[in-house]
Amino acid sequence: MTNILCIGAGYVGGPTMAVIASHCPQHRVVVVDINEARINAWQSDQLPIYEPGLGEVVRSALGRNLFFSTDVNRNIAEADIIFVSVNTPTKSFGQGAGRAADLQYWEKTARQIVENSTSSKVVVEKSTLPVRTAEAMEQILNYNSAGLHFDIVSNPEFLAEGTAIQDMQHPDRVLIGGKDSPTGQQAVQSIVDIYAHWVPRERIITTNLWSSELSKLAANAFLAQRVSSINAISALCEKTGADVNEVSHAIGLDNRIGRHFLKASVGFGGSCFRKDILNLVYLCEYYGLSEVANYWEQVIKMNEHQQMRFVSNMVSSMFNTVAGKRIALFGAAFKANTSDTRESPALAVCRSLLEERANIVLTDPHALDNARTDLGGAAKLVCFEPDPYAAAKDAHAIAILTDWAQYVDLDYEAIYESMVKPAFIFDGRNILDHKKLHSIGFNVYAIGKPPLTHNHVS
């Protein structure tokens, strides 16, 4: 039996360890966190995150070989392999503020590992980290008087929220980076052996530490870049009469381009794209590569522009003012099938419309609690309404901001009847049947398509 510990019971730590425990009944897996409410929630019927299929996986192993605890120190002492999956937000102070990764949680964790260890261990970077973090970690960990040896392995996580369980059960690849020393390679093998319980061996790839750390940042940068690229094209479509869905279909059929991640939208959100690209930009600047830094920074600028453009479009189409108008925002989560609202474009749109003094009613099937927290002081200006029909009643406009499937099948005729006329719908996810909405009577504005409006002037 191997004692596996994961420090950090968040969106990554909880689900990844549940999947490992479910596939490796011979190993004992413990997940620890300083957040007691989170640890309690993992052991209850109300898991701390909404993720399809997660409940079943947790239940399959909880209490058998999967345990959650707040006792970080005791569990460090007992562990053979420690995954570290604590948060690595963008630094908000001092050198590199607004760009570099804030590694204080990581460093604290590394020091805590040294202080509480009585045996040598493998320490796995699960969090997304700047390239060469492992070097600093190795120094902190191996500078100990007890003669203990720590091997650092990089095993970045590629799961996407909303499909986390599916992504981990059938990963495109598992990436494991390690040092080219005998103990470094043994450490890599110990992590390969865990994943080999359910991942085909050819999908487990091993690299050096720095390639593994950089591949994680590069993968997120490439994905976000595709979204920004299609969103840039969507702006041109709106000016020229082209339809971005048709363009993305036409270019995506080229095998070299591929069809994934070409869906134009109100912009990308989520806790990682922005943070990881900023981290990449900072690294480039640190190494004096200012042109490379500027290139990647443009992906974020384009995303901010797309969100701002969406709000400007709303205001200008609604006769240049939304002040005092009730506007229903459909969706708070940064994408469908998650309760996560971190960096959600829905909240950015919400804040901008509040600045325009609109009366905002926000609806979402799973993310209203997180939205209330993330909006902070602005939350008191927002009406939170779980029922989309009630949200739309007496509204001048609806904006679709999350691609929840349930928004496609609503009774838009009934919704139209309950709204102030002329009624507007802004589809920030291009998921609705725009022609049908137009025939019902809506003025319809989608992303990257000519608007479908009614001329009410006789």
Catalytic positions, written as ranges: 272
Choose from ligand UGA, ligand NAD, none: what does 213 bind? Cβ within 5-8 Å by kind: none
Return the range that interacts with ligand UGA (CB under 6 A); candidates 156-164, 172-180, 183-191, 238-246: 156-164
* Nearer CB in complex with ligand NAD: 212/271: 271
Distance of closest approach, residue 429 Cβ to ligand UGA, in angstroms: 7
Distance of closest approach, residue 175 Cβ to ligand NAD, in angstroms: 12
Which 317-336 positions form the footprint of ligand UGA (CB under 6 A)?
334-335
Q: Which residues pair with 362 in a beta bridge?
A: 329, 384
Are 329 and 363 spatial neighbours (Cβ–Cβ below 8 Å)?
Answer: yes
Using alpha carbons, select from 292, 303, 291, 296 the residue that is nearest to residue 232. 303
Are 196 and 210 spatial neighbours (Cβ–Cβ below 8 Å)?
Answer: no
And the tokens for 142? 């191996």
Binding of ligand UGA by 159 (CB under 6 A): yes
List the strands of the sheet with 359-363, edge to edge. 382-384, 359-363, 326-330, 397-400, 424-427, 443-446
How many angstroms separate the CA atoms of 143 and 130, rounded?
A: 21
Using alpha carbons, select from 20, 23, 18, 22 the residue that is nearest to residue 43. 18
Which 72-131 positions form the footprint of ligand UGA (CB under 6 A)?
128
Q: Read out DSSP for 314-327? A: HHHHTTT--TT-EE
Residue nearest to ligand NAD (CB): 10
Judged by CB under 6 A, which of 81, 272, 375, 397 binds ligand NAD? Answer: 272
Which 65-84 positions form the footprint of ligand NAD (CB under 6 A)?
72
How many angstroms separate the CA atoms of 358 and 326, rounded?
A: 6
Distance of closest approach, residue 43 Cβ to ligand NAD, in angstroms: 14
How many angstroms separate the CA atoms of 207 and 205, rounded?
A: 7
Return the range that interacts with ligand UGA (CB under 6 A); candidates 2-10, 14-22, 262-270, 351-359: 262-270
Binding of ligand UGA by 238 (CB under 6 A): no
Distance of closest approach, residue 338 Cβ to ligand NAD, in angstroms: 9
Distance of closest approach, residue 59 Cβ to ligand UGA, in angstroms: 23
For residue 125, the surrounding DSSP H or E stretch is strand 121-125
Choose from ligand UGA, ligand NAD, none: what does 204 bind? Cβ within 5-8 Å by kind: none
* Nearer CB in complex with ligand UGA: 184/270: 270
How far, CA to CA in Å, does 257 sit from each of 249, 267, 359, 391, 458?
A: 11, 20, 42, 40, 48
* Tokens 């968040």, residue located: 10
Which 334-373 positions form the footprint of ligand UGA (CB under 6 A)?
334-335
Distance of closest approach, residue 106 Cβ to ligand NAD, in angstroms: 8
Q: Read out DSSP for 366-387? A: S-HHHHHHHHGGGGGGEEE-S-
Choose from ligand NAD, ligand UGA, none: what does 263 bind? Cβ within 5-8 Å by kind: ligand UGA
Binding of ligand UGA by 272 (CB under 6 A): yes
How many angstroms separate the CA atoms of 47 and 51, rounded?
A: 9
Binding of ligand NAD by 13 (CB under 6 A): yes
Binding of ligand UGA by 262 (CB under 6 A): yes
And the tokens for 335? 């994408």
Judged by CB under 6 A, which of 2, 69, 148, 158 binds ligand UGA? Answer: 158
* Chain positions contacting ligand NAD, by CB under 6 A: 7-13, 32-35, 38, 72, 85-88, 105, 108-109, 127-128, 157, 159, 161, 271-272
* Chain positions contacting ligand UGA, by CB under 6 A: 128, 157-161, 220, 223, 227, 261-263, 265, 268-270, 272-273, 334-335
